[in-house]
Amino acid sequence: MNDRIMEHYMEQVPGSRLVELEALLRRHPDGLTSNELAEALAVDATTIRRDLARLSSTGVEIGKRGRRYHVGFHHATRSLRLTPDEVLALYLACRLLSRQQSDRNPHAERIMQKLADAVHDDSPRFSNYIEEAALLQRSLPLDEGYLAVLETLTQAWSEGRVVHLRYRDRTGSITERNFHPFCIEPYGATNSCYTIGFDELRHAIRIFKLNRILAADLTNEHFDIPSDFSPNRLFSEAWGVVWHDRPPQMVDLRFFGDTARIVQEAFWHPSQRVLAEQDGTSRITFQVSEPLEMESWIRQWGASVELR
């Protein structure tokens, strides 16, 4: 098909059908054949192949495995309309993530650049500030192995695909297993990200630090996240990202002096209960599944805290 014919055809294709075609491919990460796409959109297979060419020309990455067409996962973009306040909220989240990691995160860098471009005409000062933050992120060292692991886990989580992990624990021991990633969670105290999911080696829910994953490879096996799995519930009982499958225990602390006022001003844990005593001290209780994880946090307050 020459360029003139293609250009004429592209002008005739209903935009709504291209939107439906892209959405259909996104909902089927394993791909669909031209006949399956044609049946779903009520057109013939020849029309679908032309639509795929049109969609590809708009910047959507279209791949093919055998007879099945699919959208490239890591290059697929989403349309998003944001208010200035929502732009700021998203920027602050990216900024917080980038400040809590010692390595460069190109994805956080690119989204900050996109945010800067999006608000440049309306608020150039805001845009320049976000762009400077993106440039700062770009100056950090890039760990390509870590980035590959993060991208693989992101795709596995999104598509519900089992991933094969090669993992080195804190003792240096290396093990391999198939893993079902249920979520990915950042943790500021260790400047790291973790993945939580089902470990086929241990036959239990486990958590793995991404920096210790030596390799991650997608498999063709799929999994479903259990309906009763709730990361918010797990972390509401954990101090950080470590928890145990047992009832939470109470930790009862009393703070003195200026520290008593300081600790009242912050949100430390979903279970915290704060009581300002008449003598100027503060009593705070927590319900956590592993109190030992709080040790370093408690010690930082020195003589200004006591365990009741």
Query: What mean pLDDT is predicted for residues 111-116?
Result: 86
Q: In the chain, where are the structural domains located?
A: 3-75, 84-138, 144-229, 249-307
Instruction: Report the distance separating Cα 102 and Cα 262, nearest Å.
Output: 28
User: pLDDT tens, 254-272?
Assistant: 999 999 999 998 899 989 9
Higher pLDDT, 175 or 71: 175
Q: Which fold, 3-75?
A: Arc Repressor Mutant, subunit A (1.10.10)
Q: Which fold, 144-229?
A: SH3 type barrels. (2.30.30)
pTM: 0.71
Say what the pLDDT of residue 15 is. 62
Higher pLDDT, 28 or 101: 28
